[in-house]
Amino acid sequence: MIIKELKGLANGANIINLYGWVDNVRDHGGLTFIDLRDFDSSIQLIFDKESKITKTVKNEFYIMVSGVFNQRDKNLINKKTLFGDVEILIESLTIINESKTLPFQIEDGIDTDESIRLKYRYLDLRRNEMKQNIIARSNTFKSIRNIMNQLDILEIDTPTLIKSTPEGAKDFLVPSRKSPGSFYALPQSPQMYKQLFMMSGFPNYYQIAKCYRDEDSRKDRQPEFTQLDLEFSNGSPDLVKENIEIIVQHIFKEAFDLKIPIPFKTITYNESMTLYGTDKPDLRIKETISDITDVFAQTEIKFIKEIIEDSGKVLSLFTQKSLSRKEIDLLDEKIKNLGSNGLGWFKVTDNEISGPLAKILLPNEKQELIAFGDGLIVFQAGNLYEVGKYMDILRQEIFKDRVEDSTSFLWVDDFPYFEIENGSLQPSHHPFTAPKDTDIFKNNPNESKALHYDLVLNGVELGSGSQRINDPQVQKLVLEKWGLTEEDIGERFGWFIEALSYGTPQHAGFAIGIDRLVAEILKQPSIRDVIPFPKTQSGMDPLTEAPSLINESDLAEYNLRYIEDEQ
């Protein structure tokens, strides 16, 4: 390391040896200058007029040089770099390894397609901005382990070859050579194993765990991701939240030198949906959604009337900003692309109201809308939970210039136990979450709440947790309400329900997405920018070209073979 080699050296000191990459080569009237870069820093090398050793040296060659440490003249000091006040007068240079022509420059702010950067990720990681992201990730891991030791939480690992169990996404399957026709699954999370630790009598558990979910990748999702996983015996939602706040506060301070206040604010799921249209609101935006259903109680606008009669809502946002028709049309296009029927809007100017529906407003409707003041009222009408996502997007778009440069944490709890997906009930968290009221769950699971809580940072869901089911009969009931048959329950979860049957204590836990946490703190547009070797949105690895086909002879050992794709 340059820093280590130069420590304590005096001007004109003995010959020193340095290793690094050639960052650039500059020829200035007979003198040749090379910036030598290693992992930590860079320093200027000087070759005198008689030197011929630099002619074959190019960018990203890895070299060793020997030379004399020298202080630069005051008027030549480069204040932008760590060693801008010194240089090395070179006496010898050895090329350790040459470099091919680079696919992109090793510098920050490059405008290079991400697929190219991922294909040559080892070069991308030489760039300082990417290097700093990975260092921040490493510091986060160190900080986690430090606070866990302080809190006396046990680090215990769990298997990565497990039984396939449904947890919300598709499993990645691993064929077994020794048991032909049988498969392991990679864990979507260590959920059941960490619960087994509680059943085994351990007081707590944590793990920096690799998890795998075969689902569509997005900027905040990867098929392989890393999470901080925790579980507490005799735990409750309040106990878990208190510990998570201490842990997160410590990570921010130690790894990023940022101070955050605790405790975090808590709101219910219904409050979140009503005020923000989402269960992961960005509270840095102060404006909230208004329910203006009452304004249209006697409306003659047909589609609004039908929606209200069907127990729907009319939700609105008001802004004093003067948006042009082009800006309004862009908002309309944005939410239509998400499934909305279109943007409803009224513009109020000097007690006059305009907009596509303004002419068919009743007098009292006009007066109530004019009462908002001069500005723009945008609205969506429909089921609260269906149109909420459009209101969330509108809120973010309209008020994006109001986002404060701060950190806003939020707990969201009191989630419904089930949500309807494709006409069937699905647990909103996972089927090991305890119902808030077992009697309500037994009689009317659609109305049941879950002891489930999410942590949100700046509109990003960092993680989820819950109090777990510790009663085998309740666990079996949940799986039945989910729609599993007696046979399915026995086949998939019989071993787990058996384990619950031996004096299982109450327990609760949580998991934080480390990739999301680091990306949000560093204000990176995608978690791929803080993962050393991520996959593309399609799940491909451009570097190794995985996933790839396997030789049929190798497949045969697993009792597998390719079949024709029938279409």
Burial of 108 (0-12, 13-18, 19+ CB in 10 A): exposed
pTM of the entire structure? Answer: 0.91
- What is the mean pLDDT of the segment spanning 510-525? 96
pLDDT of residue 217: 65
Output the pLDDT for position 565: 73
pLDDT of residue 299: 94
Percent of the chain past pLDDT 70, that is, above it, reads: 93
What integer pLDDT is reported at residue 6 of this predicted model? 64
Instruction: Give me the residue label for tokens 């005051």.
Output: 74
Share of the chain above pLDDT 90, in %: 77
pLDDT tens digit sequence for 207-221:
999 999 998 766 678
* Sign of the CA dihedral with 254 first, then 259, 264, and 269 last: negative
- Reply yes or no: is the peptide bond before residue 445 cis, omega within 30 of 0: no
Average pLDDT, the chain: 91
Model confidence at 10: pLDDT above 80: no
**CA–CA distance, 452 with 432 (Å, rounded to integer):** 10
The DSSP-derived string for 136-190 is: HHHHHHHHHHHHHHHTT--B----SSB----SSSBPPEEE-SSSTT-EEE--S-S
Confidence of residue 423 (pLDDT cuts 50, 70, 90): low
Which distant-in-sequence residues (6+ apart) come within 8 Å of 551 by Cβ? none
Instruction: Report yes or no: 295 and 349 within 8 Å, Cβ to Cβ.
Output: no
Task: Look at residue 566 and tell me whether its pLDDT is greater than 70.
Answer: no
Strand partners, 352: 349
Beta strands, E only, 301-451: 313-319, 344-349, 352-354, 375-382, 409-413, 418-421, 424-427
pLDDT in tens, 243-262: 999 999 999 999 999 999 99
Q: What CA–CA distance (Å, rounded) separates 153 from 44?
A: 48
In the structure, what pLDDT confidence band is assigned to residue 385 with cuts at 50, 70 and 90? confident
CA–CA distance, 336 with 344 (Å, rounded to integer) = 12
Q: Name the helix (H) or strand (E) containing 36.
A: strand 31-37
Angstrom distance (rounded) from CA 376 to CA 369: 10
Give the pairing of strands 86-97 and 42-47: parallel
At 370, the pLDDT band (50, 70, 90 cuts) reads: very high
79: Cβ contacts below 8 Å, ≥ 6 apart: none
Neighbours of 235 (CB within 10 A): 23
**Whole-angstrom Cα distance, residue 13 to residue 19?**
18
Residues 539 and 217: beta-carbon distance below 8 Å: yes
pLDDT of residue 526: 93
- 343 class by beta-carbon count within 10 Å (0-12 exposed, 13-18 middle, 19+ buried): buried
DSSP track, 353-391: EESTTGGG--HHHHHHHHTT-SEEEEEEEE-HHHHHHHH
Mapping DSSP to helix (H, G, I), strand (E, B) and coil, where does residue 191 land?
Answer: helix
- Which residues, 6+ apart, have CB-to-CB distance to 182 below 8 Å? 175, 176
Q: Which amino acid is residue 422, in one-letter code?
A: N
For the ranges 76-85, 408-417, 556-565, the lowest mean pLDDT is seen at 76-85
Question: Looking at residue 190, what is its pLDDT?
Answer: 94
Six-digit token string for 334: 């944005």
pLDDT for 215 equals 81
Could you tell me which residues are beta bridge partners of residue 319? 376
CA dist 386 and 404 (Å) reads 28
CB 408 within 8 A of CB 458: yes
